[in-house]
Amino acid sequence: MARPIKPRRVLFDPDVVYFKPRAVPLSMLEEVDLSIDELEALRLCDLEDFEQEEAAKKMKISQSTLQRILTSARKKVAEALIGGKAIKIRKG
C-alpha cells in the first residue's frame, strides 16, 4: 500500500485554469494536467525567486519533495509548449 500524500500548503488560487495555443479549438487539443501544488512550486521558485529550501518550508514539505514536484511541473509545461498542448490546472 502506498504512503498517503502529506497535505501541502498552497497560498495561490488561480482564476484561470486553462491555457491553450491560440486559434486551435480546445476540443482538438491534447491536455496536460498540472496540479495546484505543481503550479505553486513553479510560482514560488520560478516567479517569486525563492530558493528551493525556502519554498519547501512555505509549502510545508521537504526540499526533496519540492524538487520532485518542480521537476514534474517543468516537464509538463515544456511538453505543452513544445507539443502544442493545452494546460489544465487541477485544483484540490
Q: Which domains does the chain have, with CATH numbers?
A: 18-90 (1.10.10)
Banded pLDDT at 64 (limits 50, 70, 90) = very high
Q: Which residue has the cell 487539443?
A: 29
Residue 62 has a CB neighbour count (10 Å cut-off) of 13
Q: 48, 49, 38, 27: which is closest to 79 by C-alpha?
A: 38
Give 44's DSSP letter: I
**What digits encode the pLDDT tens for the residues 68-84?**
999 999 999 999 999 99
Q: 35, 46, 47: which is closest to 10 by C-alpha?
A: 35
What's the grid cell of residue 62? 521537504
Average pLDDT over residues 6-18: 81
**What digits encode the pLDDT tens for the residues 13-56?**
888 889 999 989 989 999 999 999 999 999 999 999 999 999 99
Please report the pLDDT score of residue 33 as a whole number. Answer: 96
- What Å distances lie between residue 81 and 3, 5, 23, 55, 69, CA to CA? 33, 29, 15, 25, 18
Please report the pLDDT score of residue 11 as a whole number. Answer: 74
